[in-house]
């Protein structure tokens, strides 16, 4: 299937990764930024990764924005052979085909994965920012992604792709910098967070903030906070769906039945998964990004949401999941409805999956459901574009 699709792409632009002598992973020092809600960051750096041929032109470049808990490591590469969080989507011959496209992904501003964040030394004080890090929004994350494109000398990418918090950054990027992309793929995301979603995230933050070991942000690094575990378990209740839990786990007790004990399989599962996460994810970063998502609002600075979303010029594919408990389908539909009212080409693809909000990251769903949709959209009319491009370059 992939072979036949690849054969449609003109040969001269296909180069194997092996011929690419550039590094796959790098750090960029970028200009400081003024923040959307006030304040500024005088220095910004990002850790980013690349796949495919780094000499490909802008119109063969795709930028992927990570979600809340994901780093820049979308897929394995020579610098880091570990499988990435979209291993089944990004790679040679895969949906985001690194034989066809140059792919870039930067760790998000504020995340604990090597970009400027609460874990960074504040240049003004010489100490870690910790909880003093100014509150950012997806608009600030988008600005940093734009600055990375500038740094790399890339003007207008073929596409921006992101899911969940990555999708919030993607729609925000496309609204703030409409001339910097041709196509937009936004999965399971929103253009404005609603109170029903704030409620879920707010309790997660409370669990961390009210843990005495949080110490107003000055906790001991690397010690998993109990409050982080509570927060993550709470997250787990809305990332997937009741249908998944009810079909996956035994309904009968498998352990002791007292309230102090783990009684059901689903309890042991959540306990194990959240303990692991709590040890590796920084609490201040968790709080910062959690609030940033709540503050997603493409209408900020404009008359209303429609005006902000209406600024998007890219041809847009929005994908939503019926069973999404965290960012319901109605919010993806709103994006497409607004774009249609502005005569911007936009499509909503609705997925039916018991994996809910998490579906796009589930290994099976990645390759079987999301990959074909994304690939079809990214490569549609690529021959024509290719042809146009070759025609221009031969003039």
* Residue 122 in contact with its own copies, rule: CB under 8 A: no
**How far apart are alpha carbons 3 and 80 in whole angstroms?**
26
**Total of chain residues touching its own copies, rule CB under 8 A:** 61
Work out whether 337 is an interface residue with its own copies (CB under 8 A): no
Supply the minimum distance, in Å, between the C-beta of residue 170 and its own copies. Answer: 21
Q: Does 301 bind its own copies (CB under 8 A)?
A: no
37 binds its own copies (CB under 8 A): yes
Structure tokens belonging to residue 5: 């699709």
Q: Is residue 242 close enough to count as binding its own copies by CB under 8 A?
A: yes
231-236 contacts: CB < 8 A, separation 24 or more? 231/204, 231/205, 231/207, 231/286, 232/204, 232/273, 232/274, 232/277, 232/278, 232/281, 233/270, 233/271, 233/274, 234/200, 234/203, 234/204, 234/207, 235/200, 235/204, 236/270, 236/273, 236/274
Alpha helices in 85-225 (DSSP H): 138-152, 165-176, 195-209
Interaction between residue 227 and its own copies (CB under 8 A):
yes
- For the bound state, the minimum distance from the C-beta of residue 123 to its own copies, rounded and expressed in Å, comes to 20
Per-residue binding string, its own copies, 186-225, x by CB under 8 A, is ------xxxxxxxxx-xx-xxx-xxxx----x--------
Closest CB 65 distance from its own copies, rounded Å: 20
DSSP letter (8 states) at residue 368 = I
Distance CA 333, CA 217 (A): 38
**From the CB of 297, what's the least distance to its own copies, in Å?**
8
**DSSP letters for 247-267:** HHS-SS--S--STTS--SHHH
Angstrom distance (rounded) from CA 121 to CA 152: 25
Catalytic residue among 53, 357, 358, 375, which?
A: 357
Question: Which window, 74-82, 252-260, 315-323, 369-377, contacts its own copies (CB under 8 A)?
Answer: 252-260
**Active-site residue, 357 included:** yes
Per annotation, catalytic residue among 67, 71, 164, 353: 164
Does residue 246 touch its own copies according to CB under 8 A? yes
Query: Do 173 and 195 contact (CB within 8 A), yes or no?
Result: no
Give the interface with its own copies as residue ranges (CB under 8 A): 37, 131, 134-135, 192-200, 202-203, 205-207, 209-212, 217, 226-227, 229-230, 233-234, 236-237, 241-243, 245-246, 248-253, 257-260, 263-267, 270-271, 287-288, 290-291, 294-295, 297, 328
User: Where in the sequence numbering do the catalytic residues fall?
Assistant: 164, 324, 357
């Amino acid at each position: 299937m992939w072979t036949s699709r690849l054969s449609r792409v003109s040969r001269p632009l296909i180069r194997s990764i092996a011929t690419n002598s550039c590094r796959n992973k790098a750090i960029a020092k970028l200009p400081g930024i003024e923040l959307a809600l006030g304040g500024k960051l005088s220095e910004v750096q990002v850790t980013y990764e690349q796949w495919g041929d780094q000499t490909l032109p802008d119109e063969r470049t795709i930028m992927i924005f990570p979600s809340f808990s994901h780093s820049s490591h979308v897929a394995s590469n020579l610098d880091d052979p570990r499988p990435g969080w979209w291993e089944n989507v990004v790679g040679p011959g895969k949906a985001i085909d690194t034989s066809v496209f140059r792919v870039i992904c930067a760790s998000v501003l504020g995340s604990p994965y090597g970009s400027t964040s609460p874990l960074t030394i504040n240049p003004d004080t010489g100490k870690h920012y910790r909880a003093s890090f100014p509150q950012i929004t997806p608009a600030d994350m988008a600005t940093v992604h734009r600055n990375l494109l500038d740094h790399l000398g890339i003007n207008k990418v073929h596409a921006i792709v992101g899911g969940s918090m990555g999708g919030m950054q993607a729609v925000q990027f496309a609204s703030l910098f409409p001339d910097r992309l041709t196509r937009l793929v936004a999965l399971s995301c929103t253009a404005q967070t609603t109170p029903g979603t704030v409620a879920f995230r707010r309790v997660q933050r409370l669990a961390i903030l009210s843990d005495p070991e949080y110490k107003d942000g000055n906790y001991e690094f690397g010690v998993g906070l109990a409050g982080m575990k509570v927060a993550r378990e709470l997250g787990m209740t809305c990332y997937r769906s009741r249908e998944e839990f009810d079909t996956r786990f035994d309904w009968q007790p498998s352990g002791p039945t007292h309230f102090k004990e783990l009684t059901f399989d689903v309890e042991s599962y959540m306990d194990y998964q959240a303990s692991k996460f709590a040890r590796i994810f920084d609490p201040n970063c968790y709080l910062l990004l959690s609030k940033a998502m709540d503050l997603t609002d493409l209408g900020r600075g404009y008359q209303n949401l429609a005006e902000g979303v209406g600024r998007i010029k890219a041809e847009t594919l929005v994908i939503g999941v019926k069973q999404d408990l965290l960012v319901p389908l109605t919010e993806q539909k709103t994006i497409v409805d607004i774009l249609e009212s502005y005569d911007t080409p936009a499509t909503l693809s609705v997925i039916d999956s018991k994996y809910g909000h998490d579906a796009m990251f589930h290994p099976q769903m990645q390759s079987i459901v999301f990959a074909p949709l994304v690939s079809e959209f990214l490569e549609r009319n690529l021959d024509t574009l290719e042809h146009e491009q070759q025609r221009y370059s031969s003039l």
